[in-house]
Structure 1
Amino acid sequence: MKTFKLYSISLLEGKDGNVHQKMIPIEDGLIINMENKQQTWYIEAVISHDYYDYFKKVKEQEGHMLVDVIITSKDNHPAAMITSVQTLTKLSESVSVLLEAKLALKKDVIIEDVLKDLVGQGFSEEQLLLEFKNKMENLAAHPQGALKTIYRSIVESGQYKLQ
């Protein structure tokens, strides 16, 4: 088991054929990789009371959310995860939400999507390498194409009830 500081979390919501990111400001949080066969992760985030009703509704409907998390530092690449609400606890000035999660988008898929985009733009070999390196260093979010693909595949799988 490995534990990391949760730097940020955002909801990824499908609307109008695109996937939109909605940042959820966190006061504190952590993420745990259980390192088990099921590849389970747990995310605990301390958030504003403003989000209590949203997470309560998701839990009551036994729904799922696609989220993007960044671990430890803003400079790290995001990880897309499919989550479900396990517990929701009101604290004196905030709310603690515990999510069970599985990786929804592997880093290899992101790299492949970035590369396809650059090849499609017609860069020469040298330009391609420079642009690829630059994009990967500055990747603060998943490419829109990768998010659309993963969102669509989650919906089509029928395994999850996205909210």
Structure 2
Amino acid sequence: MKTFKLVGLSVVHDDLHRQEIPFIDGLIINKEDGQNHWLIETYLDKQYEPIFSELQKRNDEFRLQVTITNRSNDPANMIATVRSITRMNNHISVLMDGLLVRSKTDLAEVVLASLVEKGLQGEALLKEFKRQLNERRGFKNNEEKTRIQQ
């Protein structure tokens, strides 16, 4: 098994709605079982407990995007389930099982296709493309991206 630092986490509700979940710390472990199974653990503020409690209660699989090791990496798509939630004073630890889903289209293609579908062109298309790509990668602005990459 290989362990990596988790640097970004989002619950994907549908193709247009993604909820970024800020967390204090996180790990993601490749189980190396030949079937792309991963174990994800996040330590976060307890205000996010209702989100994960509801997902656990429904016992449904849900879509998750995780960014591993470096914020400049593209998020990886996963199908996940909540294994456990542990309360720790004002924080919680959420343990999830995930299956890495390898997409035939990369993040840039997905963002570009959605913007073209909205009718954006020229400079407006380029500006919104860069903004959304950085947002999906977890950057709030270009200055943050430059600072993290240095």
| TM-score under structure 2 length normalisation | 0.70
Distance 1:78 1:61 in 2: 25
The Cα shift of 1:93 comes to 2.2
Q: Which amino acid aligns with 1:79?
A: A
The Cα shift of 1:5 comes to 0.4
Task: Say which of 8, 18, 21 aligns to 1:21.
Answer: 18
Distance 1:54 1:23 in 2: 12
Q: Which amino acid aligns with 2:13?
A: E
**Runs of 5+ consecutive residues of structure 1 not aligned to the other structure:** 121-130, 143-163
The verdict on how the C-alpha distance between 1:10 and 1:111 changes in structure 2, with shifts beyond 3 A counting, is closer
- What secondary structure, in the 3-state scheme, does the structure 1 residue paired with 2:50 have? helix
**Runs of 5+ consecutive residues of structure 2 not aligned to the other structure:** 117-125, 138-150
Identity %: 32
The verdict on how the C-alpha distance between 1:77 and 1:89 changes in structure 2, with shifts beyond 3 A counting, is same
Name the structure 1 match of 2:34.
37
Task: Say which of 106, 113, 116 aligns to 1:110.
Answer: 106
Distance 1:34 1:81 in 2: 14
Moved over 6 A (4+): none
Contact preservation (8 Å) 2:74, 2:107? no
| Matching of residues 129-144 of structure 1 within 5 Å | 139-140=133-134, 141=136
Name the structure 2 match of 1:85.
82
Q: Which amino acid aligns with 2:45?
A: S
Name the structure 1 match of 2:96.
99
Distance 1:105 1:43 in 2: 17
Name the structure 2 match of 1:54.
51
Q: Which amino acid aligns with 1:11?
A: V
| TM-score under structure 1 length normalisation | 0.65
Distance 1:90 1:112 in 2: 37
Name the structure 2 match of 1:3.
3
**Equivalent residue pairs, number:** 123
The Cα shift of 1:57 comes to 1.8
Name the structure 2 match of 1:153.
none
- What secondary structure, in the 3-state scheme, does the structure 1 residue paired with 2:33 have? coil
Distance 2:50 2:70 in 1: 29
The Cα shift of 1:19 comes to 2.3
Distance 1:109 1:35 in 2: 24
Contact preservation (8 Å) 2:108, 2:133? no
The Cα shift of 1:112 comes to 8.8
- What secondary structure, in the 3-state scheme, does the structure 1 residue paired with 2:16 have? strand
